């Protein structure tokens, strides 16, 4: 591995640590601000390893975190924000092929579509206030990102999504099962 590749992977691991630690914060705004820094570092990581779609989606994720951390200022309780961010995710998908030169093969269409699904699910989760629904959407988002990260060998992303899925499953077993009884 070259120094450049090691640096790229190290940035991804720092991003993963920030994202994981964000869930230990006491208030939603601090969680979202830490997610902003994590997404920004994941964007750098993705661009460095050549995962353009992942880079763009993480940049949009950083903007999304900035917007959602300023709820009163931007009125993020309105569903229009979900549509705005979904439109940006879709635009990134198109631009990845049309402008940034990703080869338009069937495999690439599928692989590049996975993080779009993941970001859409988590974007809807940012809007919702029901924790059970957020966990369910997390079980759409994390596996989608996990496959994308494996294909692109994004070490920090792989570890992050595995830990997130473990945490979501524990939360579902601990909290969601008892709620339905």
- Least confident piece of the model among 41-45, 72-76, 115-119, 176-180: 176-180
pLDDT of 103 over the 90 cut: yes
Of 97, 59, 66, give the one whose Cα is nearest residue 81.
Answer: 66
Return the domain boundaries, the chain: 3-180
The whole model's pTM is what? 0.90
d(CA 167, CA 41) in angstroms, rounded, equals 22
* Range scoring the smallest mean pLDDT among 1-5, 19-23, 44-48, 88-92: 19-23
């Amino acid at each position: 591995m070259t120094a450049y590749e090691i640096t790229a992977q190290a940035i991804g691991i720092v991003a993963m640590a920030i994202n994981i630690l964000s869930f230990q914060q006491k208030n939603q705004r601090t969680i979202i601000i830490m997610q902003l820094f994590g997404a920004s570092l994941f964007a750098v990581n993705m661009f460095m390893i050549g995962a353009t779609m992942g880079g763009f989606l993480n940049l949009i994720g950083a903007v999304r975190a900035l917007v959602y951390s300023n709820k009163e200022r931007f009125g993020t309780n309105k569903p229009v924000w979900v549509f705005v961010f979904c439109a940006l995710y879709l635009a990134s998908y198109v631009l990845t092929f049309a402008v940034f030169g990703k080869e338009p093969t069937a495999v690439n269409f599928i692989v590049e579509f996975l993080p779009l699904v993941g970001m859409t699910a988590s974007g809807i989760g940012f809007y919702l206030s029901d924790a059970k629904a957020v966990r369910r959407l997390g079980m759409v988002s994390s596996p989608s990102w996990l496959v994308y990260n494996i294909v692109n060998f994004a070490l920090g992303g792989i570890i992050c999504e595995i830990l997130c899925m473990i945490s979501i499953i524990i939360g579902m077993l601990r909290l969601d099962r008892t709620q339905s009884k």
